[in-house]
Amino acid sequence: MRLSTPSWYEDVSPGRGVLPPRAWYARSDAAALPLDGTWRFRLSPTADHADESFAAEGYDARDWGEVTVPGHWVLQGEDRGAPAYTNVVYPFPVDPPRVPTENPTGDHLRRFDLPDDWPEAGGAVLRFDGVDSCARVWLNGRELGEFKGSRLPHEFSVGRILRPRGNVLAVRVHQWSSGSYLEDQDQWWLPGIFRGVTLLHRPEGAPGDFFVHASYDHADGTGTLRVVCDVPGRVTVPELGVDVATGEPVTVPVEAWTAETPRLYAGELATAGERIPLRVGFRTVRVENGVLTVNGRRVLFRGVNRHEFHPDHGRCLDPATMRRDVELMKRHNVNAVRTSHYPPHPAFLDLCDEYGLWVIDECDLETHGFQRLGWRGNPVDDARWTPALLDRAARMVERDKNHPSVILWSLGNECGTGAGLGAMADAIRERDPSRLLHYEGDRSCEHTDVYSRMYASHDEVDEIGRRADEGPAARGALPFVLCEYAHAMGNGPGGLAAYQRLFETYERCQGGFVWEWIDHGLTHPVHGYAYGGDFGEELHDGNFVCDGLLFPDRTPSPGLAEFKKVVEPVRLGAARDAGAVRVTNLRDFADLSDLSFTWSFQVDGETTGSGPLKVPVLAAGESAEVDLPEPPEHGPGHRPAGERTWTVRAELARDTRWAPAGHEVAWGQLPVSARRPPAPAHGARAVVRDGRIVLGPGVFDARTGAPLTLCGVPLAGLRLDVWRAPTDNDNGSARRPDERFGRLWRELGLHRMRHRIDAVSVDRTPGEAAGDTLTVLTRVAPAARDVALRTAYRWTSDGTRLRLAVSVTPEGEWRLPLPRLGVTLGLPATLDEVVWFGGGPGEAYPDTREAARLGRWHGTVDDLQTPYVRPQENGARIDTRWVELGDGTDRLRVEGDPAFWFAARRWTDAALDAATHRGDLVPGGSVWLRLDHAQQGIGSGSCGPGVLPEFGPLPAPAAFAFTFTAPGREPAAS
């Protein structure tokens, strides 16, 4: 056997035999035959061992297996290889354009007949919407050609080869090709025909291609439509009375398309051979005086980066999942998507047009792995690759050019710099001057219309906003966007609110796109969800692939709740007048007529009254003070000294495409009166007997001072605790070694603190009766270190309630913030019903607290857990006034002075720390309750900036107290 090396799939050319790219549309009156479904399939471990005889007519594939198309074969059976995850590095030796001999090769065969009504006249094309990473195609034994460019469409002309019955389509797919060097996105490597395959009839006189130009003139409210088509035809938009020839412009009064008001006009392009439905959205995108405008107005991107992902199907997404993404985005106040880092399935863009989302459409291009090689050999800087780059740019632009939602083209991601990118930019501008160009990798901004960065710190964004940043003059005149920020890996991202303030302060800072939309955790029988390394990959990047605002099953994570609150398009905040609320319409275009407003009044978290609130229909950007009614003081929650709060909500007045009437869009709370601190608890005398100290409802070990039962509830191990299972953001990244707190905390030994008991005594509190205070003095410190936290526990009681006052004094030189500061105690596992008055319903940390609203919340201990794919610190509830844990009979109530954070789980923080997957978390015999005075912020350090200084203070003297009671129980007999 002779091997021909290099083969077609290792050559830099984009393909052979493929038709020029054209606009994609879901339907027309031309016949179409989807070829999705079950195909015959054979997998070979190498490309050259698999012979090509299967493509010949009459080949007998009866002993082959089957595969579902569209799909990735590695997700379809044990013996089909496995997914592999790397972020930056290529999982093969870098020797472009050559690829390894071990090149999994999937041969696909599909027989099909033409439907009886398939027209005889005309031609036909065979369209592949996405094949990873390349394909060679035969029909009825005739080779059609081959292509690369995984997330781009490719068509072959097949009219003359088709026959009515017994067509055989043969497709050979290699996992690796020269194209793989251009597709080094941070995601799973997943080969296969993962998007649809369709046979399309091309009637005589049908368009080869058409381009819908639809601009909007905000000065006079008109839109100009011109549909350019390569065959003559007519363009009609009945609603606008438009009926013109192709190529002819027509200007009429219209409602503009925006992401907030996605007005589409149904039209039709009619040619001799085909009628194609159009959905026309009129809008004009520009940079004016350094500001990105649409229809003459500045827009603010509340964006996310969206990879295509499904936990069972990888990048093969069904229509319902795409719609789910769009609905979830709209419901969480997302208004923009960057299609990181490739053009999505085109049906997704149809949804963006319909529902209203601004889109940065990004080309299927990333060569990040060359960065590790000092960018030596980078294809974007090597003229031999330029045709492949231009092909990719053209396939994106031609396919997606008729979507109003697409307002920027992006050259790709993380490719460094090179002439090839310039060539792409020139070609795109030439073809479509109506949109702006984005590419983050070129700091000179030579080829772009926006200055784009990823993970810039708050300080730097502030500097850019003030136009105080140094840089090329041309860049200074551009609008600024963060194409990636707020790394949503695990718990987080923190610091969103501080970014939003910058975006709202500086005209130039036009928002950003959170990294990223969804965790790419693949369903796994043991682990729950798999991440890098779980398939035995030689090189991998672990759970860096799980960094989304949604869990893999599309359940929103707390990060998404936080984002929704931070970017809410209506702000409901304090007014100058205490009896009013300030309402600000933060939208860019729409007024408030789609919303209705309500007020409610809470006393100690219980609603005592509520009603509608009349808010003027404010235009975009306007704000007003709106009077609140008289507070309903005498409702059911009437308590003379209770804590009082107004809650104001904005909700959808009517059903929309993406959420029903009543869906909450924004909310605000206005404190009316402050919380009163818990009543003191002292007076009872401690009694020492039989090695025990009894103080009111508390029983303590007389030797150690450790509480044994509180209010009749047995408890274990109450003591100071500073550890938390490091979050991904605590673990930080190599870029900021001083902020890799997970590691630094561990090196310091904060997870193995020793507690030395220095004194246990029964004392007199000044001014109180003798023997009313149990004092336990300790020194809490890690082995091998000379830093410590001197900790005093002071217990008092009034006979019914038991108060613990903790004071902490750091000793020695602390150079690190503490993960947290509080006490942890173990309770019987039966106490798993939780009620609290404080921030909720979800978790919150110092810099992820915007979505927490003050109220009365309840749930089980299990409900309190946030199931991060890689287990880590989670579930803390903020601003807790009191929390009760009960089992229907027994209840333990803890009141804080001041308010505190609590967390409760069925495993220790040590077990949480040790777990690598959800499946590792096994309930133990206790509920571990954490009562925290302080928490370190979350930040975005797993890829971006860490915790802002105000959220990560160094240890300082601290004092805090908790009062324990057993509601409904008689004081323990003493």
Binding site for ligand IPT (CB under 6 A): 87, 186, 341, 413-414, 454-455, 484, 515, 544, 547, 943
Q: In the structure encoding, which two tokens stand for residue 242, read together?
A: 């438009």
Closest among 164, 131, 130, 127 to 144, alpha carbons compared: 127
Residue placing its CB nearer to ligand IPT in the complex, 482 or 666: 482
Give the count of beta carbons closer than 10 Å to the beta carbon of residue 970.
9
**Shortest gap between Cβ of 489 and ligand IPT (angstroms)?**
7
Residue placing its CB nearer to ligand IPT in the complex, 361 or 568: 361
DSSP annotation of 310: B
The two most distant CA atoms of the chain are separated, in Å, by: 106
**Shortest gap between Cβ of 546 and ligand IPT (angstroms)?**
10
**Cross-strand bridge partners of residue 297:** 294
Task: Yes or no: say if 331 and 663 are a contact pair by the CB < 8 Å rule.
Answer: yes
**Shortest gap between Cβ of 371 and ligand IPT (angstroms)?**
8
57 belongs to the catalytic site: no
Is beta strand 509-515 parallel, antiparallel or unpaired with respect to 480-487? parallel
Residue 169 phi/psi, 5-degree rounding, is -105, 125
Q: In the structure encoding, which two tokens stand for residue 177, read together?
A: 């090709």
**Shortest gap between Cβ of 913 and ligand IPT (angstroms)?**
23
**Cross-strand bridge partners of residue 580:** 627
Dump the DSSP string for 453-481.
EES--HHHHHHHHTT---S-HHHHTS-EE
Burial 229-239 (b: 16+ CB within 10 A, else e): bebebbbbbee
**Shortest gap between Cβ of 487 and ligand IPT (angstroms)?**
6
Active-site choice (155, 414, 843, 884): 414
Residue placing its CB nearer to ligand IPT in the complex, 315 or 649: 315
User: Whole-angstrom Cα distance, residue 27 to residue 25?
Assistant: 6
**Distance (Å) of CA 644 to CA 16, 190, 608, 614:** 72, 55, 10, 22
**Shortest gap between Cβ of 325 and ligand IPT (angstroms)?**
18
Residue placing its CB nearer to ligand IPT in the complex, 267 or 441: 441
Strand, coil or helix: 650: strand
User: Whole-angstrom Cα distance, residue 912 to residue 544?
Assistant: 18
User: Whole-angstrom Cα distance, residue 969 to residue 974?
Assistant: 14
Residue placing its CB nearer to ligand IPT in the complex, 70 or 552: 552
**Cross-strand bridge partners of residue 692:** 689, 701
Residue placing its CB nearer to ligand IPT in the complex, 936 or 942: 942
**Shortest gap between Cβ of 93 and ligand IPT (angstroms)?**
22
Angle (CA) 522 873 805, round 5° = 165
Dump the DSSP string for 732-798.
--TT-GGG-HHHHHHHHTGGGEEEEEEEEEEE--TTS-TT-EEEEEEEEEETT---EEEEEEEEEES
User: Whole-angstrom Cα distance, residue 257 to residue 234?
Assistant: 23
Q: In the structure encoding, which two tokens stand for residue 86, read together?
A: 């790397």
User: Whole-angstrom Cα distance, residue 891 to residue 886?
Assistant: 4
By beta carbon distance, the residue nearest ligand IPT is 186
End-to-end Cα separation, the chain, in angstroms: 93
Residue placing its CB nearer to ligand IPT in the complex, 265 or 485: 485
**Shortest gap between Cβ of 153 and ligand IPT (angstroms)?**
23
Residue placing its CB nearer to ligand IPT in the complex, 217 or 541: 541
Closest among 147, 84, 70, 536 to 313, alpha carbons compared: 70
Active-site choice (146, 362, 398, 484): 484
**Shortest gap between Cβ of 562 and ligand IPT (angstroms)?**
18
- Residue 713, C-beta contacts closer than 8 angstroms, at least 6 positions apart: 827, 828, 831, 890, 892, 966
**Shortest gap between Cβ of 515 and ligand IPT (angstroms)?**
5
**Shortest gap between Cβ of 288 and ligand IPT (angstroms)?**
29
Residue placing its CB nearer to ligand IPT in the complex, 935 or 942: 942
Residue placing its CB nearer to ligand IPT in the complex, 544 or 928: 544
Residue placing its CB nearer to ligand IPT in the complex, 466 or 735: 735
Strand, coil or helix: 8: helix
833 belongs to the catalytic site: no
Burial 253-275 (b: 16+ CB within 10 A, else e): ebebbbbbbbbbbebbbbbebbe
User: Whole-angstrom Cα distance, residue 914 to residue 924?
Assistant: 14
In single-letter form, the type of residue at position 250 comes to V
Q: Which residues form the catalytic set?
A: 414, 484
